[in-house]
Structure formats: C-alpha cells, structure tokens
Copies of this chain bind each other. A is one copy, B any other.
Amino acid sequence: MKLSELYTKTSKSIPADESSNNARLLIQAGFIHKEMAGVYSYLPLGKIVLDKISQIIREEMNRIRALEVQMSTLQPKDIWEKTDRWDDKKVDNWFKTKLNSGQDLGIGLTHEEPIVDSMIGFINSYKDLPVYVYQIQNKFRNELRAKSGLLRGREFLMKDLYSFNLNEEEHHRYYEEVLGAYFKIYERLGLGKDTYRTYADGGIFSTSFSDEFQTLSDVGEDLIYLDEKKKIAINKEIYNAKNLNKIGLKESDLKPYKAIEVGNTFSLGSKYTDALDLYYTDKDGHQKSIIMGCYGIGVSRLMGVMAEKFSDNLGLVWPMTIAPAKIYLIAIGQDQKTLDKAQKLYNLLTQKSIDVIYDDRDVRIGEKFADADLLGVPIRAVISSKHGDQEIAVKRRTENNEKMMKYIDLINLSK
C-alpha cells in the first residue's frame, strides 16, 4: 500500500473523551474510529490487523476439526426463555429491540441457545457426534461502563466455539485440545509468555469452575494469583483455601498480578442441550444427554491488549504476525533516481507478497520516521541516493540502530 492512497492520517492530539491507552494509541495512529463509549469502527489499517488476528484464530480452530458457521445477531425470545436467560433480571446486559409487529427480539450477546437449536435435526444418534462449530462474529453487551477502549466493548468481535460430545470423558479430552489450541493462538500473537491458564468462576454459563486465559498487564481489570513454576493461576473471585486445595495450589507459591482476560472456556454439561430438547440415542436405543462446552476469545479485545502491551512512547509496536504491514519503506531525497529505486523495491516486495507500506508522501523525513514508529510497523527500510546498489538501511521497530543490508536480506527478514 502506498501512503498517498490511504486516507487515514496519524494525529498528535490525544482524543479528550478517550481515557484508555489502547484506544488513544489506535485512534492517533488512524486504526480505529470511536462511535461512542465501547463502540469502535475499524479503519483500513485496523481492519487489516483485526483480520490477521481472526485468521490466526480461524486456522487453529480448523486444526481442531471445528467447522465455521455464522449465526444471526437478531434473536427470537422463545429459545432463551427455555434456558431462563431472557429476563433482564436473569441476564442484565441484553440489548433488546422489537419487530414492527411488536414481537420482542434480543441482540446476540452470546450464542449457546441458537447454536443448540440449529443442531436439532442434525444430531439424533451417537453416530452424529462429536460436533464442533465456531464463528467469528460481533457480540453486543449493554455494559454500564465502557471506559477501557477495546478491552470492554458494547459491540465487539468474538470467536466462539461450541462442542457437543457423547459423554463427559469425550468432552474433557476435547476441552484439553481446545486449551492447547488457545495456547498456540497466544503464542502466535506474541502473548504466549505472559498468558496463563487461570481457574475462575463459571459465571452465567455454568455452575462449576471455568478456565480463563489471563495476560499479565498493569491495565488489567482482573487480579490473579499466579504459581510461576506450575504456570497456573487462580482468579481472585474464587481465591479461598477450599478452592486452592481442590485445584492443588499452595498459597505460599502464589503471587498476585493484574491481568486481562483474553479467553475463557466453559464445561456446560447438558444444561443447554437438555433445556432445548437436544438428545441422542445410544447404541442400545436409549436416549442420552449431550455434553457441551463453549470457548470464547475476544478478537477485538486481543487487538486492544496488544496495543497496550506492544507499544512505547513513540507509538505501537506490532509483532510481525499481525502488523498491518511488515515493512515501512521510505525514500530519502526526491530525485528521480531515488524515487525509481524505491518504486522498484516496492514492486519487488509486493510481487513477493510481502506486505509493505510505501510512504510516498511529499512530507519531511522526520514526519515519515515518526509515522513509521506510531503505526508500529516492525521493519523500517530507508532508500537513499547515498546507498550502493541493492542496499538499504534497515531498522527494527524494537531496536535503536539502523543496519545496512542487501535487498535479499530484507526479504529474508520479512518472512
């Protein structure tokens, strides 16, 4: 992409109504636009980052044999009444609306009920199980406060996976497989070493424990107690002697940390499948309950977490895997020879499918350097008339010093 073709601009001023660091940075860099508290739109560079995060998650979901679907946002009341999750007194963060005929509708805040309902007719026999489906889709939650930028949205992009198994044993095997996929996702996003499996409350989904994935961060809304040797943590919400004993953690091994929840997984038993009349017939012809699990990852929240964790006083610092481009190309000097060299290199990189932002704007070089930093592109590559043929000055966003290298080395660095 040439910067002259991109309409968004970086901005030095900090939005007055935005208190969160992640949203301030992303707005200043032109990645997102604030519609209202907790609701953001994704501008071209932000959309690229969001898509790259989604694609990593999609690949890991496909690897554990889950099939992608797309459920509706508009929700009919009846299926939610069957599980007693329609009433605002039971679930207090529904957005609701009405058909012109007066019929009440919900605006999807999660999808257990419609997913189970969509399985009726498809799951009848033990031969039809297991079933694993996921979607990457907007969720809507009527949060009282929404001051954390992308970390707590009223409208946010989420990946939600649902599993249907024959029995608890088969469920637990798959559940552990999902946790493995989650670790791979955080690893690929560069969050691996700071993200921990954390025991937590079952919430509105379940009555037993659930697992959270918590990424250590000073802006985290959660407090967790971490056993650094075992790499397991427990959420403050359920931190007591009885639970520590149940999980096998010792108070003396634990240290408190602020953290952000970047994923959660729930064993649901047959609560939803029973309530919505979804059963299977076993080999002997007996009707049996279907054991279900649900597994969430906040995609837009992850973008916010990464903006918080991967940034410094100059701006964003994206890892290669999700950066809007791998290389930020700058030409020093406006003489035709240098511009031609830059254009040729741009063509070469594009040909090799290496995402590159070419800053072809007619602005001061200092402004280009500052924008390269603010946008957080991992590699800055500068072409100058002073350099030899096929030579380029390369600086990583995470390092201070430029290095001269050949084009071929730049290409290898970008893989």
Q: Are A35 and B74 in contact (CB under 8 A)?
A: yes
B47 touches A70 (CB 8 A): yes
Asked if A142 and B100 make an inter-chain contact with CB atoms under 8 angstroms apart, the answer reads yes
Q: In the assembled complex, which residues on chain B have CB atoms less than 8 Å from the CB atom of A41?
A: 69-72, 114, 118
Chain B residues within an 8 Å CB radius of A5: 65, 67
Q: Does A190 contact B (CB under 8 A)?
A: no
Give the distance in Å from the alpha carbon of A180 to the alpha carbon of B43 in the complex: 25
Q: A82-111, CB under 8 A of B: which get 1 and which 0? A: 000000000001011111110001010000
A143-B154 Cα distance, complex, nearest whole Å: 25
**Interface flag for A128 (CB, 8 Å):** yes
A133 to chain B: which residues have CB within 8 Å?
Answer: 7, 44
Residues of B near A40 (CB, < 8 A) are 72
Please tell me if A243 contacts chain B, counting CB pairs below 8 Å.
no
Interface string of A245-277 (1 = CB under 8 A from B): 000000000000000000000000000000000
Minimum CB–CB distance for A32 against chain B, Å: 10
Give the docked Cα–Cα distance between A19 and B33 (Å).
Answer: 42
A6 to B119, CA, bound (A): 12
Within 8 A of B (CB), among A6-65: 6-9, 11, 30, 33, 35-36, 39-44, 46-47, 50, 65
Q: Which residue of chain B is the closest to A94 with respect to CB atoms?
A: B97
> Inside 8 A of A95's CB, which chain B residues have their CB?
74, 97-98, 105
Is there contact, CB below 8 Å, between B155 and A72?
A: yes
> Is the Cβ of A35 less than 8 Å from the Cβ of B97?
no
Question: Are B69 and A42 in contact, CB atoms less than 8 angstroms apart?
Answer: yes
Give which listed residue, B11, B96, B128, contacts A7 with CB less than 8 A: B128
- Assess the B97–A70 pair: CB atoms within 8 A: no
Q: Tell me the minimal C-beta distance from A157 to chain B in angstroms.
A: 8
In the complex formed, the residue of B with least CB distance to A122 is B7
Query: Is the beta-carbon distance between B99 and A142 smaller than 8 angstroms?
Result: yes
- The listed residue (B30, B36, B99) touching A76 by CB distance below 8 A is B36
Cα distance A5–B133 in the bound complex, in angstroms: 11
Q: Are the CB atoms of A35 and B69 closer together than 8 Å?
A: no
Alpha-carbon separation in the docked complex, A75 to B39 (Å): 9
B67-A7 in contact (CB<8A): yes
Interfacial chain B residues near A35, Cβ < 8 Å? 71-72, 74-76, 114
Given A9-B121, A67-B44, A96-B97: A36 and B74 within 8 A (CB)?
yes
Query: Given A35-B114, A118-B33, A122-B9, A144–B71 Cβ distance below 8 Å?
Result: no
Interface flag for A343 (CB, 8 Å):
no
Tell me, rounded to whole Å, the shortest Cβ–Cβ distance linking A371 to chain B: 14
A7-B99 in contact (CB<8A): no
Asked if A198 CB lies within 8 Å of chain B CBs, one says no
Q: How far is the CA of A67 from the CA of B143 in the complex (A)?
A: 31
Q: Check: A73 CB closer than 8 A to any chain B CB.
A: yes
A8 proximity list for chain B (CB < 8 A): 122
Q: Is the CB of B67 within 8 A of A42?
A: no
Closest 3 CB pairs of A and B: A42-B70, A44-B67, A7-B131
Sample (5) of A-B pairs whose CB atoms are under 8 Å apart: A35-B114, A46-B70, A74-B140, A95-B97, A97-B97
17 further contact pairs, Cβ within 8 A, besides A41-B70, A44-B67: A6-B67, A7-B67, A7-B123, A7-B128, A7-B133, A9-B121, A9-B122, A39-B72, A41-B69, A41-B114, A41-B118, A42-B70, A44-B68, A47-B69, A73-B138, A96-B97, A99-B154
